[in-house]
Every structure is written in C-alpha cells, then in structure tokens.
Amino acid sequence: MPKSDHPWWRKFFSKSWSRTLRQSVDNPLQTERLPADAAPEFDYPVQSESRAASRYITFKACLFTLLPTAVFAVLVRCMTFLATDLLVLSFVSSVAYLAYHLAPPEPLLRKLAFAMAGMLLSFLLLTLLPLTMACCSVATIGILILADRFATHCISLATAAPTARATAFEIRRLWCDRFATLQRPLRGAELYPFGFITVLLLVSFWIQYFQAVDRPRDPHNLLQAFLWPSALTIGGTLLVEIGVAFLYQRRPTSFLQMIPALWCALVDWHCYNSRESSALGIHRTPAGSNAARRRLLLGVFFLWFLVFTSIHAQFPQRHQNEADVADAPTPLQLTPVEQHYVDHLSESDAEAYRRDRAAAIAIPRPRLQPAATSGAYSPFTSTDGSDAAATIFAPWYTQLLNVAYQFFLVIYFFLKLGLLAAAFTATAIFAATARVVTIWNRGSSDSRVFNTANWDHLVARIQNSSDPTEQNSLILGVNAADDSPVLVPRDVFREHAHILGDSGSGKTSLGIMPLMMQLLRQGTCSVIVIDLKADDQVLFETISREAAAVGRRFQSLEPEHPGFPFRWFTTEVGRATYAFNPLRQSFLQNLRDDQRTDLLTAALG
C-alpha cells in the first residue's frame, strides 16, 4: 500500500466527509478558476443535513449558546469584588466581537479595523453613559441588525432555486425597499419598520423602569417586569398583522403559524451550508457565512445577558425579611425599667441620660479575651486551667452543604439571567420578523431541492443565466456529501464520457437522459442516440417530446427557425424507419476528395 504524502497530523484537521465527488483540477468551473468577470446566478440552496439532523443541531447550538453565560455566571459569583471590572471587560470584548463579524469578509485588515473601532466606541459609551445604559444601547442596535439579517436570510432562501429568476429578482427588489415602500410592498413586509419600533418601545420600557426614582427601593423581580411588556409586544404584533392584512387585502397569519415558521427559519439560520461549501452555483446568503450567522446570534445574546447582569448587580433582589431603613436617626429605645427611671428625672437630667445611653450603644463592644493569669477567674478558663476558647470547626457535612448552596446560587443566577436574555432576544426577533418570516419561510420538508419536480426549473436557471461561464454549463447532479451542485462545462463533453453503474442503477434515467435533454434545450448541437438494447420506449418518447418542445420554443422567438426535426432509424423488420444518406451531410461538401475517401474507407473498415 503506498504511503500517504500527507503528514500524520493532517487527518485531525481534515474534513470528515468524502471529497471523491469533487470536480477535477482541470475543471474551469471551480471557484478559484472562474474568470474575473464571472457572476454565477444558479443560487442552489444546499441542504447538507437532513431536516431532522438540522433540528437537532439547532437545539444543540442553542444550548451551547448558553455556555458563555454559565462561565460568566461562575466568574461573577466567585469574584464579587471584580464584578464591575468583569462586566466592563465583557462589554468591550462583546462589542469588538460583534464589529469583527459584522465587517465584510475580506480583507482581514478591514475586519480588524472594525473590531478596533468597536472597542473605541465601547470606551466612548462608557465615558458618556452608565454601564447598564451603554450595554443596553449596543445590545439594542445588535438585536435590530440581527432581526433584519434574520428576515433577509429567510427571503434569500425563499427566492433561491428553483424559483424562477424573474420572480426572484422582483421579490428581492421589493425587499431592498422594505423600509420605504408603502404603496406596493412585499407581501408580509407591509409596515416592516413597525416591528423595529416595537422593539425600541420594549427596550425603552426597560430603561424607564430601572431608572425611575422610586424603583431602587422596591423589591425587584426581573421576570415579572419582563412578562408584561413581552406579552404586550407579542399581542401588538398579532394585532398589527390583522390590521395590515385587512388593509392590503390578504389573509392574516396566526400565532400558531408564526411559531413553527420562526423555528424553521432558526434551523435554516444555524444549518444552511453548515459545511461552508464553496462550489460553483451555491446560493450565497447576504446574512453571511454559517459561522458568521451563529456568532452574530451569540454576540447579541451575550450582550443582553450583560444588560440583565448589570441590572441585577446594580439593584439586587432583597429577601422578604428585609425592610426599608429611614434616612432620619432611629429614636433610642429604652427598656421599661430605664423608662421608669427617666420619668422621675428632671428634663435636663433625662436628656443627659439619653445622650449617654445612646453614646454607650454606639461604642462597639470590646472583644473578650481570655484571662491573663491562670489564677484569675474567667469564663474562658476551665476549672483545670485549660483554655476553653478553642476554635470551633464546622462539621464536614456543613461545609459540603455550604458548597452545594453556593453551586445552587450559581445555577440559579445563570438560569435566571441567561434564560431571561434568551427570552428577550426571541421576543425581539418575533416582533420584528414574525410576519414576513411566516409568509416566506421554506418550510420543514425533508425533500431535497434537486428532484424531478424542480429539475426543469434548475436547468432553466442555468441556461438563462447572464453569466456566459454558467450558461455554457450542464448540471449533472449534486454532491452526496454536502448537497452542492456539480456543474460541468459543456466543452468537456466534446471528448468521451463514460457512465458507470450496475444493472438497473439508473444510468439511462439519471445519467444519459438529463444530459441529452440539456444539450437539446441549449439548441446548439445535434443529438444522435444509439440504443443497442431498444427494450424501453421511455428514451424514444423523451427524445421525441423534447425535440418538439425545443423546436416550438425557438420558432416562437424566430418564426423562420427550422426547428429540431426528430428522426429515427431501425433495422428491425416491421418497424417504421427513416433512411439516411450520410453522403448528403453538409460538412462533406467542405472536404476534399481525398478526405472524403479516407472517411469512407475508415467507416467501411
């Protein structure tokens, strides 16, 4: 067995899926080999995993999104004296993280410049605003950007292949005018800015709630303060959908339709092109790569977690046995015996007694020490002279319970603020995008885009492309590993092509027929089929119908076009056939006599 040229450590960094179906190095349709002016428009939406696997990956990704909050909760709980410093450091890092991933993908220096600008902006906000307000301002901008990209990602997938190119361009044009168009908006995006206004109102309620003068003295319950505005936000979104549907004469979407649609859109957000395939023809969503989309969601969520953490640190929740303390000094409380004694004193003496009594209470009680000599009596000395004030250690189970209680507090802190931040993020996305996502969501079907129902639309997208490189290509199928389309230049088939497969594996139906139909539809060549077995009429009927359809299409554009006549020849007795004279072919007229002789003698063997 030949030794591999790759080092032993290469396998740990290589992809886990097969690359045997990748196109050859000589194929000019690879991304790095495309011409500089190439602009492929195939827009094939890859589906690397099944829908069930995508749902599982999304659920796991949502759980892992909570992991940074759990680590941060442990740090804040264990390092209380550095809680403010941790919040500031986390805020600056989160802003730089978001700015880095919101920057254009290339070049790297531009992304680093965006990250530095984000850090400077965060420091500027900290000098102008309190920490809570600075976090809330940046988190609000982040959630609005996330919501808009979330809806844009959904629209882009809905208009990808096999949607007709003209329809897709029209929908995307209307979506580009989503913030300005009122007369003829995209269906589902009517009054689209209202969702963002709802998010701003929700955030404004929070700011007013925690900046009110009398709030710091009230018992705070973040969950209760979140439920009411969230319920009003969701209810307001549903009412707006009903009113907008009535005004624009369409059927309104219900809450039961919005929740599954948002979940399906979240699955697409996490799993679309999860393997980052860069093959030609893959739909490039404007929301960014798979890693950029996930990190954007993580950064926005962590910013809202910082907001709730800073609020919790600024206004900690009090226990039920705690009460307000008045600003005025508390009057001296005398015992009944002292009160009886003061009542029999003169006014000046009673005032002096109260003053001395208050001073005595204010003086801290001195710490009791053991007796200096063993002979003197002391409550700290036993009768045998040994020291009875030895240090008392707590039992081992008490220490264990204390550790368990501290761990419980960390878990409670994490669940309370982490889940609250997740719920707030979900509510904001719902308010901003639920209406448009419900209408334009692709759904949760497990069927692949490349199937018999969509095949004609996929071929039409390639042949009607404005890019000449893509227009002169043929689609052979999809990569079984990552669902990326396999496009091959038509010039490749000027040479020999060999299709391998077992009997009944679909060489004719999946290999020869799609290739033949695409060559016919391009209308630039003649197709000759030699069927040695002739045991099935499907191939015969397919060629006949395809030639007639292509001829009608060309004649509708050019009435004088001769079309594509279909002829057949057979040596079987009793079958209709056409006779062919190979010597009357047009190309023979351009050959010399010696060339014709050489061609005929070679054909006769």
- Using the predicted structure, report yes or no on whether residue 53 has a pLDDT greater than 90: no
Residue bearing the bigger pLDDT, 214 or 333: 333
- Measured N-to-C along each axis, helices 67-78 and 396-440 cross at an angle, to the nearest 10 degrees, of 140
Burial 370-401 (b: 16+ CB within 10 A, else e): eeeeeeeebeebeeeeeeeeeeeeeeeeeeee
| Helix (H/G/I), strand (E/B), else coil: 485 | strand
Rounded mean pLDDT of 187-202? 87
Q: Name residue 489's beta-bridge partners.
A: 473
pLDDT tens string 487-502: 888 888 888 888 888 8
Q: Which among 474, 582, 486, 595 is positioned nearest to 528, based on CA atoms?
A: 582
Alpha carbons 70 and 81: distance in angstroms, whole number:
19
Residue type, 254: S
Please tell me which residue, 376 or 537, carries the higher pLDDT value. Answer: 537
Query: Which are the contacts of 63, defined by CB distance < 8 A and separation ≥ 6?
Result: none
- pLDDT, greater one: 2 or 98: 98
- DSSP helix/strand/coil, 488: strand
Taking residues 38-49, what's their average pLDDT? Answer: 80
Statement: residue 16 has pLDDT above 80:
no
Q: Give yes or no for residue 556 having a pLDDT over 70.
A: yes
Give the Å distances, CA to CA, from 306 to 86, 94, 133, 141, 429: 10, 10, 11, 15, 18
Return left, alpha or beta for 372; rule: phi > 0 is left, psi -120 to 50 is alpha, else beta: alpha
If one compares 433 and 357, the residue with the highest pLDDT of the two is: 433
Percent of the chain clearing pLDDT 70 (strictly above): 75
Query: Which tens digit of pLDDT belongs to each residue from 61-78?
Result: 888 777 777 777 667 666
pLDDT per residue over 382-440, tens digit each? 444 444 444 445 566 666 777 777 677 667 767 777 788 888 889 999 999 999 999 99
User: How far, in Å, CA of 232 to CA of 202, rounded?
Assistant: 9
Can you give the pLDDT at residue 378?
Answer: 43
Q: According to the model, what pLDDT value does residue 222 have?
A: 58
Confidence of residue 9 (pLDDT cuts 50, 70, 90): very low
C-beta separation of 171 from 186 below 8 A: yes
Residue 462 pLDDT more than 70?
A: yes
Q: What is the pLDDT of residue 409?
A: 67
Q: How far is CA 560 from the centre of its chain?
A: 53
Residue 591 has pLDDT above 70, yes or no: yes
Of 293-302, 346-355, 550-559, the range with the lowest mean pLDDT is 346-355
DSSP state of 545: H
Task: Check residue 191 and give its pLDDT.
Answer: 86
pLDDT confidence of residue 151: 93
Question: CA-CA distance, 255 to 259, in Å (whole number)?
Answer: 6
Q: Does 20 have pLDDT greater than 70?
A: no
Per-residue confidence (pLDDT) for residue 142, from 0 to 100: 92
Helix, strand, coil share (%) of the chain residues, nearest 5? 60, 0, 40
Does residue 45 register a pLDDT over 70? yes
Q: What is the pLDDT of residues 98-149, one digit of tens each?
A: 888 888 877 788 888 888 998 998 888 888 888 888 888 899 999 999 999 9
pLDDT value at residue 19? 41
Report how far apart, in Å, the C-alpha atoms of 199 and of each of 112, 186, 244, 295 are: 30, 21, 18, 21
526-to-517, 564, 570 alpha-carbon distances in Å: 11, 8, 19
pLDDT band at 308 (very low <50, low <70, confident <90, very high): confident
Once rounded to an integer, what is the mean pLDDT over residues 441-453?
A: 78
**The predicted structure's pLDDT at residue 216:** 43
What pLDDT is attached to residue 262?
92
Average pLDDT score over the chain: 77
Tokens of 442: 């692709």
Quick one: pLDDT at residue 127? 87
Kindly indicate the confidence band of residue 569, based on its pLDDT and cuts at 50, 70 and 90.
Answer: confident
354, exposed or middle or buried, with CB in 10 Å at 0-12, 13-18, 19+?
A: middle
In this prediction, what percent of the chain has a pLDDT beyond 90? 8
Burial of 105 (0-12, 13-18, 19+ CB in 10 A): exposed
Contact status, residue 324 vs residue 217, Cβ threshold 8 Å: yes
Report whether pLDDT(152) > 90.
yes
pLDDT number for residue 487: 84
CA dist., res. 235 & res. 231, Å (int): 6
Mean pLDDT of 372-389: 45
Q: Taking 50 as the threshold, does the pLDDT of residue 507 lie above it?
A: yes
Span of 225-229, 326-330, 484-488, 496-500 with lowest mean pLDDT:
326-330
The confidence score (pLDDT) of residue 415 equals: 72
The answer to whether the beta carbons of residues 431 and 79 sit under 8 Å apart is no
Distance CA 230, CA 402 (A): 37
Whole-number pLDDT of residue 342: 76
